[in-house]
Amino acid sequence: MANSGSNVYGEDEAITYKSSVDETALKEQLDPLSYAVLREAATERPFTGEYNDVYEVGSYRCKACGAELFKSEAKFKTGCGWPSFYQPTEGDAVVLIEDRSLAPRVRTEVRCANCGSHLGHVFEGEGYETPTDQRYCINSVALVLEQA
């Protein structure tokens, strides 16, 4: 089972990703919003993403590198305006990083473990009736759904 609590990287820790991103090629390949979210940690407006209210069976992959990140089985309804998952497809599919950009509020950023692209944030202890009590709140534009 995924467990975020134990290994959240500090903001300044150097993280080595398995695959490196060609920023120029990626910028040409992606629409501006996807690039801004994935590589500049922007956030899409709530209730605008194509996967916000989608419950098709399949796998959600990183739009930058294609790594599998989440499965549809872990997607659940929250009404928060972004696709929400209670766990990643594998514990090491994503990397968690302390995010103090809204200090004093400290959030936990979620990135693709393969290429380091920004995906969203994870929140815990909100009381959702899921196996983990975690909500991976992910930008639709960071994902590509591969239907099963």
Residues of the shown chain interacting with Zn ion in the complex, contacts defined by CB under 5 A? 62, 64-65, 67, 112, 114-115, 117
Q: Tally the residues of the chain.
A: 148
- Distances from the Cα of 143 to the Cαs of 6, 53, 68, 98, 117, in angstroms? 25, 14, 9, 22, 11
Q: Is 137 annotated as catalytic?
A: yes
CB-wise, 2 or 62, nearer to Zn ion? 62
Q: Least Å distance between CB 65 and Zn ion?
A: 3
Q: Least Å distance between CB 115 and Zn ion?
A: 3
- What is the distance between the alpha carbons of residues 61 and 133, in angstroms, rounded to a whole number? 22
- What is the distance between the alpha carbons of residues 116 and 39, in angstroms, rounded to a whole number? 8
CB-wise, 62 or 95, nearer to Zn ion? 62
CB-wise, 23 or 126, nearer to Zn ion? 23
Kindly name the residue from 62, 112, 115, 137 that is annotated as catalytic.
Answer: 137
CB 121 within 8 A of CB 115: no
Q: Least Å distance between CB 54 and Zn ion?
A: 20
Kindly list the catalytic residues: 137
